[in-house]
Chains A and B, each alone.
Chain A
Amino acid sequence: METLKNALDFSDFPRLDLTLAASVAVFLLVFPFFSHSSFAMSTLIQFLIFSLYGMGWNTIGGYGGQVDLGKAQYLGIGAYTTSVMLLRWDTPFWISMPIGILFSVTWSFIIGYPLFKLKGHYFAIATIATSLVLKDLFEVWELVGGSRGIEILAGKYQTPDFVHLIFKGDDYYYYVILIFFFIGILFMNAFRKSRLGFQLRSIKDNEDIARSLGINVHWAKIKTYAVATAFVSAVGSFHACYVKNIEPEDTMSLDISILIALMAMLGGAGSLWGPIIGAAVLVPLKSYLKEWLGAQAGMVGIDLIIYGAIIMIISAAEPRGIWGMVEKARRRKRN
């Protein structure tokens, strides 16, 4: 009950922020009714998907300060669980998604226990290592299609199929992920005010002090890692239904893991709006660069050079991210 109240209570934000957030929400709700290109539509869906991944990462990576660069493995587990169950047993999405979460969270506990014995760089690289090991496994595992991956055949379903989440038009997918997105924001709003949310911020700054305040640091990290995992896995399941064709190389690569962390950092790690702002900047940037430059002959790679250069500039010039800049400016004004 109190959690629900926390989730719905945004009163600690300035009115300006809430007005902006409400306008964005209205825009997102009515967007499909205006004329738009299918490219704009798919970019928006990608934005929603990735801001949800970013929110998941933000729990452990932002509030907890643990640089997790292995989130793609949970995306993969979620996506594969849903695809395989749909293909083999025609399982409804709403059943396969929780099962995917169950698998992901179980796996996250198994590797989280040893992982969080490590700190700093060692932790970050170890998360990459675990993700790559899982990807290698999926690439030879014939049940899930090996390196060719797995394809959902939409033809046999009567669309729109809300049970299996198979649609012809992007509009349906858009609204489903938009609902996920709003739930995600409410969840994160409750999370940042929860006991775990407070404890994590203490762990991020100084683990000795956190311990002296009675916080079981190792366990708090593992729990949060499981929360982040559940988030990513659920959206991964949706991702599979949306793209309908998943391969280890696309869904579980290091690039995806990095992109997830990058968005949260760019927007402002450890803040509610950070991952959303980051996704709103990076996702369109990446897809537009690809659309404009990637397709032109003789320009192969230019889009990713620009993208990489932007990452370099941001990390060197403003590592606290966009939201960090806003907060700094506000604090200066107040004092």
Chain B
Amino acid sequence: MALLEVTNLTKRFGGLTANDAVSFEVTKGELLGLIGPNGAGKTTLFNCIAGLHPIDAGTVHFQEQNITRLASHEIARLGLARTFQIMVASGDLNVLENIMVGCFLHTGSRMKAKAEAEQILKDMELSDLGGYLVSELPVAAQKRVAMATALGTRPKLLLLDEVAAGLNPSEIEGITAIIQRIHTEMGITVMLIEHVMEMVMNLSQRVVVLDYGRKIAEGDPKLVVKDPNVIKAYLGERYAKEHL
């Protein structure tokens, strides 16, 4: 069953077409990678799906409900959460309280929100850091806080935007394990944008490739990386011709 169904999504900024008739599906229980060179329109696609930008054409369905025109908070309430590259719910609040902001979506009770946030902290291996401000943490921990905050809203589909950017190899290993746990143990469908290829290849069951706002390939990661169009997009036409 398709959890998310994007059909012919088009988004223009003035003369620039950031997403050009993009269509794809995310199946329930899947872990889908979204890759593409810088400026391919990946983050814009996330923003359009999550309702942050109004889109120019196309439709987005989530759990068979048309969410194309819904406001972003309404989409979040349906169970579609996203992280941002830089994501702090509030700089005035500590890590635990930041996660509570997300948990308050389902409860008005502070005690319940706190208990839920503490559980998420534990799952994300952040228990020791609950009392710090997000700005006091190292980058790797900040990325985990971003995921934890989004998890607080109890999503069915989690969109992760470059959660491995700026991390060293051992930190990437750690965050890969956490994403895997979110996917398998918590049973949350995940779609992620990532530049770290190794991570995408290890994690994703399927990838979608964007270039200049268009979808140029889709499928098994091992096959997609051999696709000439994808190689051309990443390496440039001339280089691809000369070396492959």
Contacts and interface: CB of A to CB of B under 8 A. Distances in A.
Contact of A194 (B50, B51, B110, B149): B110
B72 A211 contact: yes
Given A2-B109, A2-B111, A213 B101 contact: yes
B109 A213 contact: no
Nearest to B83: A212
Interface residues of A, number: 25
Nearest to A219: B73
Contacts of B87: 209
Given A198-B97, A208-B52, A209-B84, A214 B89 contact: no
Contact of B105 (A2, A208, A213, A331): A213
Contacts of A204: 90, 92
B141 interface: no
B237 interface: no
Nearest to B132: A335
B52 A212 contact: yes
Interface in A208-259: 208-217
A335 B102 CA distance: 27
A212 B50 contact: yes
Interface string B101-114: 11011011111010
B89 A205 contact: yes
A198 B101 contact: yes
B71 A211 contact: yes
Nearest to B79: A214
Contact of B88 (A193, A198, A209, A335): A209
B76 to A, nearest CB: 4
Contact of B92 (A195, A201, A209, A335): A201
Contacts of B100: 198
A244 B11 CA distance: 61
Main secondary structure, interface of A, reads helix
A202 interface: yes
Interface in B109-134: 109-111, 113, 133
Nearest to B51: A211
B93 interface: yes
Nearest to A215: B73
A240 to B, nearest CB: 35
A19 interface: no
B89 A209 contact: yes
Interface string A1-13: 0100010000000
Nearest to A193: B110
A205 B134 CA distance: 13
Nearest to B52: A208
B166 interface: no
B104 A205 contact: no
B10 interface: no
Nearest to A327: B92
B183 interface: no
A195 B116 CA distance: 14
B126 to A, nearest CB: 17
Given A198-B104, A212-B82, A6 B76 contact: no
Contacts of A208: 52, 72, 84
Contact of B73 (A2, A201, A211, A270): A211
A206 interface: yes
Q: Which of A202, A212, A217, A331 has the most CB of B within 10 A?
A: A212
Interface in B130-168: 133, 136, 149-150, 152-153
Contacts of A73: none
Contacts of B152: 213
Q: Which of B97, B110, B152 has the most CB of A within 10 A?
A: B110
B91 interface: yes
A205 B91 contact: yes
B69 interface: no
Contacts of B84: 208-209, 212
A168 to B, nearest CB: 45
A6 B73 contact: no
Nearest to B77: A214
B17 to A, nearest CB: 22
A193 B113 CA distance: 11
Contacts of A331: 133
A210 to B, nearest CB: 7
A199 interface: yes
Given A211-B76, A214-B73, 4 more contacts: A205-B91, A210-B101, A212-B73, A213-B152
- Rank and list the top 6 A-B pairs by shortest CB-CB distance, nearest first: A214-B76, A201-B90, A211-B72, A214-B105, A202-B89, A195-B104
Interface of A: 2, 6, 193-195, 198-199, 201-202, 204-206, 208-217, 270, 331, 335
16 contacts: A194-B110, A195-B108, A199-B101, A204-B92, A205-B89, A205-B90, A208-B72, A211-B72, A211-B73, A211-B76, A212-B50, A212-B76, A212-B82, A213-B150, A214-B102, A270-B92
